[in-house]
Amino acid sequence: MNKRVEDKVAVITGASRGIGRAIALQLAAEGARVVVTARKIENAEVVAGEIRQQGGQVLALAVDVAVVAEVEILMKQTTEHFGALHILVNNAGMTRDNLIMRMSDDEWQSVLTTNLTGTYHCIRAASKIMMKQRAGKIINITSVVAQMGNKGQANYSAAKAGIIGLTKSVARELASRNVQCNAVAPGFIITDMTSGLPESAKETMLQSVPLGRVGTPEDVSGLVVFLASREADYITGQVINVDGGMVMA
C-alpha cells in the first residue's frame, strides 16, 4: 500500500505533545522523514524515540520559533541531514490567558511573538528552500477562536487570526512556485492545553459542538497529512476547521 508522503521531509514545530506529537507520528507512519522540534531537546527526543520504534527516520531539535537565529539553524540542519524540505507544519504555540482589562503587555506580546511571529519566521526561512525546489506544503495550525473569539484569550485569538491572514498572503505569493499554504483550525481538542480547564468550562464548550464530543489530536493530524500529500496539490489559501461543527461560516 502506497504511503501518502513517502520519502518527503517534514518539519513539525511544537511537536512534543498534543496535536504536534500526533502530526509528527502520523506523518512518519505515512512515510515522511520528520524533524520534530520543541523548546527542550529532551521533550523532542521522547517523540523522536516513538517514531524510531515505528521504524521511521527522525531528527529531534531544540528550537524556539520566536528566535530568528534558531529557526535559520533549524532549516539548515534539516536540509543538511535529509537533503530537502517538502512539508512545514507550524504548530508551536502558547497561551497566557487573562481578561483584556487585566492583561499585561508581556502576556500580550509573548503570545503574539511565539504564535504569530514564530510562524512567520518559519515560513520565511522555509519558503526560500521550497521556492528553489518549486514544490512544498506549508500547513499552519490556527484555531476556531480566530473566527469566533474567546473570553480571556484576546492575545491568543489575535495571534491565531493573524495566522489566517498570513496563510492567505503566503498562498498567493508562493503559488507560482508550486508551494501550497493552508491553515487548519482545531476546535475543542483534548490536549494538555485544554485538559486543565474547569469541568464547567468543558461542559459549556461541549454544548456548542453539534457532533456532541470533544476532538482528539488524531482528528487534526489526519487532515494535516492530507494537506501535506499530493491529493491536496490543488488546495491553497484555505482555512479548514476540525471542530465538530462548532463554527459554521
| Active centre residues (catalytic) | 156
* Residue 186 grid cell: 482545531
Phi, psi of 220, rounded to the nearest 5 degrees = -80, -45
Alpha helices, DSSP H only, in the chain? 18-29, 41-53, 68-82, 105-111, 118-133, 145-148, 154-174, 192-195, 199-207, 217-228
Query: 3-state DSSP helix/strand/coil percent for the chain, to nearest 5?
Result: 50, 15, 35
Gap between the Cα atoms of 240 and 243, Å rounded: 9
Gap between the Cα atoms of 90 and 190, Å rounded: 19
Burial class for 81, CB neighbours closer than 10 Å (0-12, 13-18, 19+): middle
Task: Tell me which residue has cell 504555540.
Answer: 93
- Alpha-carbon dihedral 8, 9, 15, 18, rounded to 10 degrees: -10
Helix (H) or strand (E) holding 183, with range, is strand 179-186
